[in-house]
Structure 1
Amino acid sequence: MPGMTAYVCFHEICSPRKGEYVFISAAAGAVGQLVGQFAKLMGCYVVGSAGTKEKVDLLKNKFGFDEALNYKEEQDLDEALKRENRNAGWINFDVPDSRYFPNGIDIYFENVGGKMLDAVLMNMRLRGRIAVCGMVSQYNLEQPEGVHNLFCLITKRIRMEGFLVFYYYHLYPKYLDMILPYIKEGKIEYVEDIAEGIESAPAALIGLFSGRNVGKQVVVIAHE
């Protein structure tokens, strides 16, 4: 399911083009790690957000993201997306200040909502695309946060679309045609977070909502 979700979100909903700027929230999760790799294989510039230094390092060093930021260390997410990227290992002579998103975000994979979505809306490019997979920051709240910058959808002519992968399984053969060659060529990395034993299931489930897991959370009941 994560692979199919990543495929639908990126290739079918976002209609990516080579060289576009892609931002992924919850990028070290089961779907985000694949969206980022699909984007890199497409020739896009990819930045991901995650909640720990270890996850940031994983995004850059294992999954090949161009950059990553720890959103928990940022006081102002809007400024973080605009900030000069002094550690970038890339050169773009058309973009002398080398910021994360010097001309705005073309594609945003949304899995967080709240303040993150508000900041991204301010940094989207004209005719940008947002695929809404989830809004984990808003789950289980008595009073969900409001989003204040929705007017950007109008002024920047942004297309924002939610989706449920179950309605796209007729595209599964198309997904396999794309993903299987990449797997055989060793171009796709995937990380699972494995908890041992049925007794670990409650803690593993709770950990999903605090960002403790890396990749797909799996509970192994038995090895036989």
Structure 2
Amino acid sequence: MCNMQKQIRLKNRPLGTPTHEDFQIVEAPIEKPSKGEILIRTVYISVDPYLRGRMNDVKSYIPPFGLNEVISSGVIGQVVESQSALFAKGDVVLGILGWQEYSIAKETSIRKIDQNLAPASAFLSVLGMTGLTAYFGLLDIGKPKEGETVVVSGAAGAVGSIVGQIAKIKGARVVGIAGSDEKVKFIIDELGFDAAINYNTQDVGTALQETCPNGIDVYFENVGGQISDSIFPLLNNFARIPVCGAISSYNNEKADIGPRVQAYLIKTSSLMQGFTVGNYSSRFGEGAKELGSWLKEGKLKYEETLTEGFDHTIDAFLDLFKGANLGKSLIKVAEIE
């Protein structure tokens, strides 16, 4: 192992859609672990839309990235040196770590993963934060009932694809909204959605009226914007709207302005509630157990868009805002030895 590694740092706070110029790849020394620490070689890096918000210097539920600091997200890695009694060389671990080839982590900030349950990468998708986001957002806020109609935007993405499958497990009728014919085919043929809409080729409002003739009981919000505007007129009484994301506005330079939702919510006594998966941290064990059980039983499928090579991490992140990914977007940096 050499003494230097590559890191990706935030160079500028993006104005609008991020570009390569907003990041820099630098070389930095590989540090040695102190007592209670572990040196980890990066295997997989997760890129997620919410990271865009952390590039703005604004108050949010999570602190912004500092300029000229290493960006961080979910990482699967392998221990190469341990100064901890809890971890040994060769252990495969999960944590929030930097976009770099090697990381130092405190023993309390990472956990081992069991590759007997699923391949390592699954712990960044269906068995990780995205799966847990889908699980708690849909079941705790959406509360789908058998026979109800559930609509999911971003339906072929990491969270949306799991949401739709869980809704089917609960006996709901599921309509997905996605951005290509390939994604529409995938969520119907592979994931078992009942219907799907391509927002790039169809009028979403008209298509929703056709695919949701009995109205909408649950709308799982990942996108916002004009797609969401088409949902509100079709809400049934006591509809539930878990608000997970609003990717359509993440790169806007001005405030996002659209139709006012209050009248729709009042007329239908609907619930619209934002959340982050961190709200449910005390219940992660419950969610992981259920998701793992469904996965083992073949009730859940998951898809990954895998990009090879650390140098392509920025490309994979930027591709999220082009809708290029199917399922969870990951960068494979190295092999597990």
- TM-score (norm. length: structure 2): 0.60
What residue number does 2:65 align with? none
When structure 1 is superposed on structure 2, of 198-207 and 143-152 the one drifting more is 143-152
Matched, 1:161 2:273: yes
> Which one of 282, 285, 290 corresponds to residue 178 of structure 1?
290
Letter matched to residue 156 of structure 1? T
SS in 2 for 1:73: coil
- Equivalent position amino acid for 1:112 in 2: V
Q: How does 1:94-113 map to 2 (within 5 A)?
A: 100-113=211-224
Q: Tell me, yes or no, if the aligned pair for 1:117 and 1:147 is still in contact at 8 Å.
A: no
The Cα shift of 1:175 comes to 1.2
Aligned counterpart for 1:191 among listed residues 303, 307, 312: 303
Contact 2:144–2:150 under 8 Å retained in 1: no
Look up the equivalent residue of 1:205 and give its one-letter code: F
Q: Report the counterpart of residue 92 of structure 1 in structure 2.
A: none
Structure 2 regions of 5+ residues with no counterpart?
1-128
2:230 match: 119
After the TM superposition, list the runs of 4 or more consecutive aligned residues in structure 1 that deviate by more than 3 angstroms. Answer: none
Instruction: Quote the residue 2:193 is aligned against.
Output: 65
Question: What is the aligned counterpart of 1:147 among 258, 270, 273?
Answer: 258
Q: Displacement, 1:154?
A: 1.1
Residue identity opposite 1:219 in structure 2: I
Q: Is the 8 A contact 2:197 2:204 kept in 1?
A: no
> How big is each residue's C-alpha offset from its partner over 1:28-78, in whole Å with a ceiling of 9 and x where there is no partner?
00010100000111110001011011100000011110111101112x322
Q: Which residue of 1 aligns with 2:168?
A: 40
In structure 1, the residue matched to 2:11 is none
1:144 Cα offset (Å): 3.8
**Post-superposition CA distance 1:134-162 (Å, at most 9, x none):** 00000111224322141201111110000
Cα distance in 2 between the residues matched to 1:203 and 1:195: 9
Deviates more, 1:165-174 or 1:48-57: 165-174
Question: Quick one: distance in 2 between partners of 1:169 and 1:176?
Answer: 11
The aligned residue for residue 134 of structure 1 is 245
Q: Give the deviation of 1:174 after TM superposition.
A: 1.8
For residues 93-151 of structure 1, what are the alpha-carbon distances to aligned partners after superposition, in whole Å with 9 as ceiling and x for unaligned?
Answer: xxxxxxx1112100000011011111101111111000000000001112243221412
Take 2:335 and 2:285, find their aligned partners in 1: how far apart are those partners? 30
CA contact (8 A) 1:37 1:64 kept: yes
Amino acid of the structure 2 residue aligned with 1:25: S
Does the 8 Å contact 1:122/1:149 carry over to 2? no
> Is 1:25 aligned with 2:136?
no
Identify the residue that residue 22 of structure 2 maps to in structure 1. none
Following the alignment from structure 2 to structure 1, what is the Cα–Cα distance between the partners of residues 313 and 218? Answer: 34
Deviation per CA, 1:11-30: give whole Å up to 9, x if none: 11112211110000000000
Q: What amino acid is the match of 2:307? A: A
8 A contact 2:149–2:215 mirrored in 1: yes
Distance 1:144 1:47 in 2: 29
Which letter maps to 2:143?
S
> 2:335 matched to 1:223?
yes
Q: What are the residue-to-residue correspondences of 1:191-210 with 2, within 5 Å?
A: 191-210=303-322
Equivalent runs, 1:2-17 vs 2, <5 Å: 2-17=130-145
Question: For 2:322, what is the secondary structure of its paired residue?
Answer: coil
The whole-number CA distance in structure 2 between the counterparts of 1:68 and 1:50 is 7
**Per the alignment, in what secondary structure is the counterpart of residue 72 of structure 1?**
coil
- Give the root-mean-square deviation of aligned CA atoms: 1.1
Q: Distance in 1 between matches of 2:168 and 2:318?
A: 31
Residue 176 of structure 1: SS of its match in structure 2?
helix
SS class of match (2:220): strand
Deviation at 1:204, TM superposition (A): 0.5
Distance in 2, Cα, partners of 1:62 & 1:103: 25
The residue type paired with residue 110 of structure 1 is E
Counterpart of 1:82, as a letter, is Q
Amino acid at match of 1:80: A
What whole-Å deviation, never above 9, does each CA across 1:168-194 have from its counterpart, x for those lacking one? 011112213422221221111000110
Structure 2 vs 1, CA of residues 73 and 149 (structure 1 numbering), >3 Å: closer, same or farther?
farther
Bigger helix fraction: 1
